[in-house]
Amino acid sequence: MLKDVANIVRGLSADIVEKANSGHPGMPIGCADIGALLFGEIMNIDASKSDWPDRDRFVLSAGHGSAFLYSFLHLTGHDISMDDLKDFRQLHSKTPGHPEYGETDGVETTTGPLGQGFSNAVGMALAEKMMAAKYNTEDHSIVDHYTYTIMGDGCMMEGITSEAASLAGHLGLDKLIAIYDDNDISIAGNTNLAFTESVADRFKAFGWQVIENIDGHNIDQVREAINQAKSDKERPTVIMAKTHIALGAPNKQDTADAHGAPLGEEEIKGLKEKFDLPVDKKFYVSDEVKEFFRAHAAEMQDQRLAWEKEFEEWAAANPELKKDWDQAIELKLPVDLKEEIMDLEMEAPIATRKSAGAALSKAFELIPYLVGGSADLAPSNKTYNAEYGEVQKGDYSGRNFRFGVREHAMGAITNGLALHSGLRPFAATFLVFSDYMRPAIRLAALMKLPVTYVFTHDSVFVGEDGPTHQPIEHVEALRIIPGLKVLRPGDEEEAKAAWV
């Protein structure tokens, strides 16, 4: 049946892009078998309550393949109708050209800029580890889920992917499973024109389990690879899935022509004939596939209800933890937060980074779900709070991160932490290096995420470091990002107020 599901999605995706007269059909058609396994068997998701806390997370890092995601979300019963699929890439539709968080039921994050989604997935997997460390007990595991992401050749080329993968390997995020759609094709042609490194060796060096030589169209092989991924309790896993872009398209399979443009009626006809789909029907879903997903939805609902029963038992046995959980999930602030921070006494004059650091320390004390870290500049940023521990492999109970000199990944990982829910993250570096993380900041603003950035050394008086470290244009550059609130305190009182 999963093969039938995959073939239905191939036809759906081709029709979706064709009707819109724009989009990316190749990836959805090529990854349909992987998607059928994930959405039809592997992942624990319940469309009737798509935000239940212990669901598995799925991130389409290759966001241009959005027709893939929308097709499966429709089939699994999310709030995406057939008419919504027909409105693909239209203004104000539920099915925008790239997945958008908050616009479409079941979409976990906004993706499109390549590598951002993968790095968000790292943040989600890290959040799962931290929440499990805090809330699970000997008798109840209420946080126990996986994060899956599909990434393409473009994601693998982006520098942010290497940054985030390096940190994920260092932290041992074993419940992160990345599936590499390795189809050898990008917009401009074959990837051998610009991308010939061994991705497998790179990820092995990062400390990942690498499962190679998987036929991405062989569902049994992909299933076995995912099971192998789950058996490794020390490392994240990347599955190297060889696929054919636009599999079954008679003339455009394995070509760049299938990447970012509609296939055309003749190609779609040939594809549908190849997979025994009715050529005369557009947006076709067989009754058998509909019934399969109805039954699967009932199973998923049972899984979610079983979790809710365990959650109720956990809550009854652990009232203080339940109180902390509710506060964290709702991001509820203490009523005395403003008073406590504004009443802090400091000797003036004092550098704003020091006064802001003191305010942050008080916030750490008052807000148990506040977490964050710096890109190797914590002593200068004044953002490290030693008494609350730090996150390292094997111990995720701390609240301080060491992101290393990985500003771009830091920005996207904090987005993933916020998207997971239950944590309020911040990220810190020098203001001049905000340029290194700007795309992630922009996406946080676009998604309206509760992420805080601490940018210190915000003046030309950085002086001796010279013009490379003097942030001349950076405040203005940040202020023009829609939806980003930029506060630049001028003294210790304003620095305290900025945190509240």
Catalytic residues: 407
How many residues are there in the chain? 500
Which string of b and e fits 120-142 if b means at least 16 CB within 10 Å? bbbbbbbbbbbbbebbeeeebeb
The C-alpha R_g of the chain, in whole angstroms, comes to 24
> Taking the C-alpha atoms of 9, 14, 18 and 24 in order, what is their torsion angle to the nearest 10 degrees?
100
DSSP conformational letter for 42: I
Determine the Cα–Cα distance for residues 149 and 146; give it in Å rounded to an integer.
Answer: 10
Whether residue 496 contacts residue 456, with contact meaning beta carbons closer than 8 Å, is answered with no
Give the DSSP letter string of 72-129. HHHHTT-S--HHHHHTTT-TT-SS-SS--TTTSTT--S---STTHHHHHHHHHHHHHH
List of residues 6+ apart from 442 with CB closer than 8 A: 481, 484
Task: List the one residue out of 240, 246, 250 whose CA is nearest residue 270.
Answer: 250
Token readout for 178 is 């990345």
Determine the Cα–Cα distance for residues 263 and 259; give it in Å rounded to an integer.
Answer: 9
Task: List the one residue out of 463, 418, 421, 473 whose CA is nearest residue 441.
Answer: 418
